[in-house]
Structure 1
Amino acid sequence: MTRSDLVLTSHGDTIAAWHYRAESEAWTTAAGRPCVVMAHGFGATKDAGLTPFAERFAAAGADVVIFDYRGFGGSSGEPRQCVDHRRHRADYRSVVSQVRGLEGIDPDRVVLWGSSYSGGHVIAVAAGDPRIAAVISQGAAMDGLAAVVEIVKYAGIKQLLRLSAHALRGVVQRDYSIPIVAAPGELAAITSHDGLSGYEIIMGPTFENRMLARGILPILVNRPVASASKVTMPLMLVVAAHDTIAPPSAVERVAAKAHGRVEVERFDVGHFDIYEGETFTKSVAAQVAFLESVLTR
């Protein structure tokens, strides 16, 4: 598998990316090769479980670009560890613009891929860019309000109030940080029963279990579901039916509101199970088949 480092930019900062070159010419046309643009979820980096997906897409015939958001992993940018869906989406748009100009890439066959928090980002970005060829979104955070309700369900109202207090402290003390994930009952943005074990399974060496506490507040206004009706390109949604981090009910609402072709793959698993084992094998095979149907028509 051919992978090289790629340096891009976003709003004056350097974006660290990996570029996987297509291993097959099956999806190549006179206009060039298709490209799948990928980024990760809440506080995560490009070395956290995305490589197996990228390798399969490249083997099938697509170039793949995986990148770190500004302030995370190998990318530059201040403040560091600022989880903010608005910044992340701006980075997606910047990367897509530059990917379209890469040698050998067909600018009209760029696909957005997202998982967890970025699974929502790709909906919002595609809604504003009708040139996107297709979207794949798995285990996606589609509604911040629903996610907050889920916190109350698995951790209780006291935990939500505790988290909110630390977020407000972060508004005043701008560099104040809290953990991204921790065990149930501890202080962190994610304390579901499978959160810590799930992060430990997939996170790579550049991941830092730390985020600016003020980043909790924008979660409430992160509602990709509100943009779903503007998604007109083919859309694949991978649903983890027992997800307690990214409520699947919000993903189902996106499926109902999107105006293009929608393909839904449902698995009776939790949030992190889609990255490994039999679920991964079945899901990635379906994703490759979806890409083939979109990119070779």
Structure 2
Amino acid sequence: MPRENISFKTSDQVTLRGWFYKPEDARNSKIPCLIMAHGFSALKEMDLNAFAEYFVSKLSLSCLVYDNRGFGDSDTKEDQPRQEIIPAQQISDYSDAITYAQSRSDIDSHKIGIWGSSYSGGHVLWLGAVDKRVKVVLAQVPCVDGWTTFHRLIRPDFVGGLNQIFQDDRLARAAGKSPGTLPVVDADVHKPSALPTPDSYEFFTSWGKKSNWKNEVTVKSVEAFREYYPSAHIHHISPAPLLMTVAQNDVLTPTDIALEAFSRALEPKQLQILPGGHFDGYSGPNFEANAGCQTEFLRKHLCS
């Protein structure tokens, strides 16, 4: 599937880079566009190309896929660290990606959808509520409640130590020292890491061997995760259609927390429940069912 390397500037003048896909037979027609970015520390190469290629091969649809700021091929703001994840910044960058898409002559500016997975699955819930340019929202295995998820993942007797790490890092950064970092994953789930589940370790380390992914985020990224509540406005996504994809046995963005959030969304909405865990919809036997359901949702609500 041919793709175009693209870049665009955010509202605070950071260059983000990615790929643009469109059907070979699109010619000069204006077609809908789906904006796609990955989750916590992940890069566009980590299966987003598979989803974009699938959608574009089945639909009269373009896909704009990019790396989050400070990760992969994208820049970060001058004097700001790489490997730092601040949800409000990433949400703002999604909005700027929409603006870039609307500026292109080959996109129907009135038919823009957003797709996110895991952490960015939470971002699109927030953005779909507050940016009314968004016509459809696809949230795959989304993080919907940072506080509850943080305290589900972290043993209670470890929380005090993390609070001390957060405080020490704030003081160090205020004194001009380099930001503290934590691994994203660790083979020992009892050691400090951002995503302390065995399936997270398996997924990310497999990609670390075949991509530029780095097993590192700033300490501030983990503190920002705990305070993030992306489903706060989920009932305001309506009347834009919402598709939420939830894994049946998700221990990273727990299934029950996601289902509670979905219950608060208003119509029109659709729930897809996949067998397996958090990462099982990206590839393997679940991919066809997952991407196929998302394709039909896009066909009905964005590409009709």
TM normalised by structure 1 equals: 0.92
Question: More deviation in 181-190 or 282-291?
Answer: 181-190
Residue 224, structure 1, aligned to residue 230, structure 2: yes
Cα distance between partner residues in 1 of 2:267 and 2:104: 28
**1:124·1:224 contact (CA, 8 Å) conserved in 2?**
yes
- After superposition, give the CA deviation of every residue in 1:87-133 in whole Å (9 maximum; x if it has no partner): 11011011111111112100111110000000000010111122211
Which ranges of structure 2 fall in alignment gaps of 5 or more residues? 174-178
Partner of 2:81: 79
Determine the C-alpha separation between the residues in 2 that align with 1:145 and 1:76.
Answer: 29
Cα displacement (A) at 1:29: 11
The residue number in structure 2 matching 1:48 is 46
8 Å Cα contact 2:32/2:112 also seen in 1: yes
Shift of 1:209: 1.0
Give the AA of the match of 1:180.
V
Spell out, residue by residue over 1:159-208, the C-alpha distance to the aligned partner (whole angstroms, 9 max, x if none).
Answer: 33333332222212231111111121222111112120021345562211
Task: State which of 113, 118, 121 in structure 1 corresponds to 2:120.
Answer: 118
Name the residue aligned to 1:176.
180
Q: 1:18 deviation in Å?
A: 0.8
Query: Which residue, 264, 269, 273 being the options, matches 1:262?
Result: 269
Q: Secondary structure at the match of 2:279?
A: helix
Spell out, residue by residue over 1:224-246, the C-alpha distance to the aligned partner (whole angstroms, 9 max, x if none). 11110110101111101211111
Which piece of structure 1 moves more, 7-16 or 216-225?
216-225
Partner of 1:5: 5
Q: Normalising to structure 2: TM-score of the pair? A: 0.90
Gaps of 5+ in 1: none
CA contact (8 A) 1:8 1:14 kept: yes
Confirm whether residue 63 of structure 1 aligns to residue 69 of structure 2: no
Q: Segments of 4+ in structure 1 off by > 4 A?
A: none
Structure 1 residue aligned with 2:92: 90
**Residue of structure 2 equivalent to 1:39:** 37
Question: Deviations for 1:237-264, whole angstroms, at most 9, x for unmatched residues?
Answer: 1101211111222322332222231111
Contact 1:48 1:202 in 2 (8 A): yes
Letter in 2 for 1:110: I
| TM-align CA RMSD | 1.8
In structure 2, the residue matched to 1:279 is 286
Say which of 87, 99, 102 aligns to 1:100: 102
Contact in 1 for aligned 2:115/2:139 (Cα 8 Å)? yes
Aligned mates of 2:52, 2:159 — CA distance in 1: 36
* Deviation at residue 139 of structure 1 after TM alignment: 0.7
Give the corresponding residue for 1:158. Answer: 157
Q: Where does residue 14 of structure 1 map in the other structure?
A: 15
Q: Distance in 1 between matches of 2:87 and 2:299?
A: 29
Q: Are the aligned partners of 1:169 and 1:213 in contact in 2 as well (CA < 8 Å)? A: no
SS across alignment from 2:134: coil
- Indicate the residue corresponding to 2:302 in structure 1: 295
Letter of the aligned partner of 2:163 in structure 1?
S
